[in-house]
Structures are given as C-alpha cells and as structure tokens.
C-alpha cells in the first residue's frame, strides 16, 4: 500500500494530472513471459523500480505519405514523434521536476511506441499510472542472453562454403555479380568487433551506424559476458563477411555495409526498454527525421526466454514493416517438440528462420510451430536455412570458426535479401516476403509445415521470380495456428502478380572478387 505521507510529497502539478486509476487491460497482464508482465507495486521500502509507461496511441500508419521510400520513412518518423509529443509533453515536464527531486532516477522517451521508460520510486510510479492518457504500466524486464554454443566451435576438415552453396548464393555471385553492394544491413545483438579483418571494411561508419543504449561503448564492440561475447560478430560474419582472413568469402553479401545496435550489455543482460530504444534507433539512426540512413534489412538473432506468444515487441515489428524493412528473426533453439515457437519471432509480421543442415535435413534444436500468435501469414518458421556448423567470423585469436543454431541461419537470409535488393532496389517488404517464401525449396511434407516452414532458402529461384514478375501476391497459408485466446481460420489464396521488378544487375566479369574455394582448416 502507498502511504499517504509519501503521496503528499509529490508536486501539486503532478497531482493535477490524476484521474481514477485504470487497471491495465487483460492483454497487458500476460505474465507468461517477464517482458510482458504488468508492474506490481512493491513494498515502500523496495526503493526504485524500472517500468515502461505506455500511452493511449491513436493509429498513425495510415497517415504516412511520400513518393519515395525515404520520404515515407521520414513521414513515419515525424508522425511518431508528433504522436508521442502530444501524449507525453505534460508528463515529461513533471518527470524532469521529479528527477531533480530524486523521486525519478531516469527516464527515456520511446517515441516509436509512444511510451516512456522510467526508473522511479513506487509512489511516483503508482501516481503516474493514474495520469490521463496512460494506457498501462509494465515491468521493464531484464533477461540474459541465451546464446551459449550449441555445438563446440571447430576448425577441422571444413568446407567453408557448403552452406552458401546450399542457398545458391554462389549462383547470384557468379551469374549476376550480386554481392550486396549499396545495401545496408543492421543487426540487434551483442555487438560487433569492428576491426575484424572480414568485417572492418564493411562498416558504414559515421555517427549513425552504432548504437549502444547502455552507454558502455562509443564505438562498435562485442562483449556480453564471459560465455557469449562474439555472438554478434559471428552473426555479422555470415551476412557481410569478406575474405580478408582467408581465400574465400564467409558472408552471403560480402559487399554490403553493416550497422549495429548492442541490445545486450557487457554482462550479457538485456532490458525490454533498451530493446525498444534500439528498435526505434533503426527508424532514424542520425536522429534528423530524414529517412535517408535507415537500414534496408534488420537481423534479430535473439529471443525471449519462454515459448508461447508475447507481443511486447509487436508494435516495433509493425513499425519496421511500415518503413519497408523485413524484420528477420532467428526462430530459436527450443525445438525437438511441436509448439516450441518463441517470441518475438512468432509475432505478426516477423520473418522467422529455422535451421537445417547443408543437405536440408531437420535440425532437432530448431524451434517449430504451430505459431502461438494469431495474425502471422506465414508458418512458424517462415522458412529454413543452414545452421549446423556453418563457418563464420569469430573473436581473436581464432578470427574464424564454426557455429550452430538458428542464430546463424537467420543472417544468411538477411544476407540473401541484400543480394536480391541490390538487383531489385524498390521491392516492397510484402514482395520481399512473398518472393523468399514462394521460391523456397520444399522440404519434408508437401507444402508449408511447422518444421521447415516453406522450405530451404533458394536465392536463385527468388531472383528469377522477381525478374520474371512471377512472385505470388499472397503465399500458401498453413493450418490455423492457435492464438493465446482465440483460434482464427485462415483462407488460402494464391495469385500471381503482373508487376515485373526492374533489375539493376551488373555484368559478371572474369575477375569476380568473391569465389568459392573449398578450404580445410586444421
């Protein structure tokens, strides 16, 4: 209970904001995952708590305007800022006063989702929860990086290029000279070792290419505790890794550029608020609302801690889609059983990637469906890519080794999409999704299923479909997946678009820089 004496200490201006307390709606009180749990008032002696305050949010996506992609992205960011400013202006002023009084330790404006991350004492949080326009208050949950190696890294008897051949990246390199040039790929991960020989020249650089919401590193670094420092470097190696550390290229798109947000701190812990902050950074890295430096692709090789549907990051995913960015997620490594899907990969709009071996055989650890969240047009996973002992970048002294898991299947899809976008720059996010799914090589049972999704990533067929204008406008749907509270029947429709994407493919040359050379490292 809040003591009356403590309430009296709050400013009169804040008291004027109060309306009768509204209990958060049931959807905000999903406690199956700590990231979705409603804030519960602690004892007065508990000190300060960290919460996220969500405001009533009128829709803005329908108001986005602009002719070019950059103009639409700029419009989106301006609308999101305006919505947050209108809803939060008065409370922000009071929070500044409370901060000077020591009642609020810190706060961060999450303009993308119209929220404020706040650390304050219990009485202050309870009072703010009653302010006009406040929709709900949730815990700012923290969780550890579940990124432990699933198989011992190896340097023995390895053909480093088999995974890239399996997805037919070599065909786009050699036939069409597509290497990801002029495409920018972002990751949300443990960080990246920027001076790695296979990654250093691929960094976009400048003040708009690195974001550490914890403020621990002003320049790119990859540290997340003793066990999983280097995870982001491994992921990035599979997207843009070059051939500087050997005689081959380890990444799918070796001429693409990278940027990164470090969503895990140096101890390997992440918080809900910091991930939201990183997600909104993707929409406006240089914070000028211009829409000109937004990444083309985002890879997320992380998940929350339990299976089931948690929609904490669903608004962020929808904003990425509105910015014409396909949010690629690792499906997770909780497989072996049905219904092992994880959030946010199972959220509506997320593109979930499972893992197989180079021959397309099932990898038991890969999470599988059916999808626990309603509203996603894909199976869970959406499709699969090689994720068993794939060769990639590593922290020194090794610089390269193998890695296993869906964390390393997803970045190959991100890199593959960079190849396709180099050729078909204006491809919409819906067409990107449909091209990848419709072109996948079917595995397992005929049609989409909850183990392989649509099948194995097939970049050559995806390219051909985009070039020929045969990408379906909708993709085959799986059997209905249960939502947390309802079951929705999905109708399957598949038609063919008559729009032909315009390719900007360069002519292959005899001096192709990136070639496949079998390599055995001992």
Q: List pLDDT tens digits, range 214-266.
A: 999 999 999 988 767 899 999 999 999 987 766 567 899 999 999 999 999 99
What residue ranges do the domains of the chain occupy?
A: 49-140, 161-468
Second CATH level (architecture) for the domain 161-468:
3-Layer(aba) Sandwich (3.40)
For residue 12, name the pLDDT band (cuts at 50, 70, 90): very low
More confident residue, 321 or 401: 321
Burial (CB < 10 A; 0-12, 13-18, 19+), residue 47, is: exposed
Report pTM: 0.84
Are 398 and 155 contacting, i.e. CB atoms less than 8 angstroms apart? yes
pLDDT at 146: 66
pLDDT (tens digit per residue) in 389-402: 998 988 988 888 88
Q: What is the DSSP string of 135-171?
A: EEEEE--EEE-----SS----SS--TTHHHHHTTHHH
Angle between helix 314-322 and helix 272-283 axes, rounded to 10 deg: 10
pLDDT at 44: 55
Q: Please check the confidence at residue 32 and state whether its pLDDT lies above 90.
A: no
For residue 42, name the pLDDT band (cuts at 50, 70, 90): low
Q: Please check the confidence at residue 176 and state whether its pLDDT lies above 70.
A: yes
pLDDT at 68: 94
Residue 389: CB atoms within 10 A of its CB come to 20
Lowest mean pLDDT among 38-47, 78-87, 358-367: 38-47
Are 418 and 180 contacting, i.e. CB atoms less than 8 angstroms apart? yes
Burial (CB < 10 A; 0-12, 13-18, 19+), residue 493, is: exposed
* Average pLDDT taken over every residue of the chain: 82
Are 143 and 304 contacting, i.e. CB atoms less than 8 angstroms apart? yes
For residue 306, name the pLDDT band (cuts at 50, 70, 90): confident
In this prediction, residues 141-166 reach a mean pLDDT of: 66
Are 63 and 93 contacting, i.e. CB atoms less than 8 angstroms apart? no
In this prediction, residues 31-47 reach a mean pLDDT of: 52
Burial call 223-260: b when 16+ CB within 10 Å, e when fewer: bbbeebbbbbbbbbbbbbbbbbbbebbbbbbbbbbbbb
Q: Please check the confidence at residue 495 and state whether its pLDDT lies above 80.
A: no
3 state DSSP class of 484: coil
């Amino acid at each position: 209970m809040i003591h009356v004496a403590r309430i009296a200490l709050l400013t009169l201006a804040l008291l004027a904001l109060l309306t009768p307390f509204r209990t958060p709606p049931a959807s905000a009180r999903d406690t199956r995952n700590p990231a979705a749990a409603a804030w519960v008032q602690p004892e007065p002696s508990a000190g300060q708590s960290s919460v996220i305050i969500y405001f009533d949010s009128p829709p803005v996506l329908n108001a986005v305007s602009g002719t070019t992609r950059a103009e639409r992205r700029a419009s989106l960011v301006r609308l999101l800022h305006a919505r947050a400013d209108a809803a939060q202006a008065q409370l922000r002023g009071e929070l500044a006063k409370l901060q000077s009084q020591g009642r609020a330790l810190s706060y961060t404006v999450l303009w993308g989702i119209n929220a404020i991350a706040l650390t304050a004492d219990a009485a202050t949080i309870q009072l703010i929860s009653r302010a006009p326009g406040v929709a709900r208050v949730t815990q700012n949950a923290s969780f550890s990086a579940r990124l432990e190696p699933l198989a011992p890294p190896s340097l023995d008897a390895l053909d480093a290029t088999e995974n890239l051949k399996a997805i037919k990246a070599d065909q786009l390199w050699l036939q069409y000279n597509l290497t990801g040039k002029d495409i920018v790929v972002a990751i949300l991960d443990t960080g990246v070792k920027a001076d790695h020989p296979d990654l250093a020249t691929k960094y976009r650089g400048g003040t708009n290419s690195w974001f550490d919401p914890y403020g621990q590193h002003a320049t790119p670094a990859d540290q997340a505790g003793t066990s999983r420092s280097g995870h982001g470097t491994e992921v990035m190696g599979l997207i843009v890794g070059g051939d500087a550390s050997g005689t081959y290229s380890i990444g799918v798109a070796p001429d693409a550029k990278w940027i990164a947000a470090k969503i895990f701190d140096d101890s390997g812990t992440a918080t809900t608020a910091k991930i939201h902050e990183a997600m909104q950074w993707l929409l406006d890295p240089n914070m000028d609302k211009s829409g000109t430096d937004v990444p083309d692709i985002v890879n997320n090789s992380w998940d929350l801690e339990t299976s089931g549907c948690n929609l904490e990051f669903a608004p962020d995913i929808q904003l990425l889609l509105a910015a014409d960015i396909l949010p690629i997620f690792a499906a997770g490594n909780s497989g072996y059983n049905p219904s092992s899907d994880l959030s946010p990969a199972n959220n509506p709009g997320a593109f979930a990637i499972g893992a197989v071996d180079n021959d397309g055989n099932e990898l038991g650890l890969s999470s599988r469906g059916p999808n626990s969240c309603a509203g996603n047009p894909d199976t869970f996973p959406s499709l699969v890519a090689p994720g068993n002992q794939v060769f990639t970048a590593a922290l020194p002294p090794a610089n390269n080794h193998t890695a296993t898991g869906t964390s390393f299947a997803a970045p190959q899809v991100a890199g593959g999409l960079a190849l396709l976008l180099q050729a078909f720059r204006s491809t919409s996010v819906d067409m990107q999704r449909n091209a990848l799914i419709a072109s996948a090589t079917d595995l397992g049972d005929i049609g989409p299923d909850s183990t392989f999704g649509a099948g194995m990533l097939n970049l050559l067929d995806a390219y051909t479909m985009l070039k020929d204008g045969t990408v379906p406008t909708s993709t085959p749907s799986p059997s209905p997946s249960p939502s947390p509270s309802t079951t929705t029947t999905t109708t399957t429709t598949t038609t063919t678009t008559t729009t032909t994407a315009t390719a900007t493919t360069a002519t292959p040359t005899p001096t192709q820089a990136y070639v496949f050379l079998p390599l055995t490292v001992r």
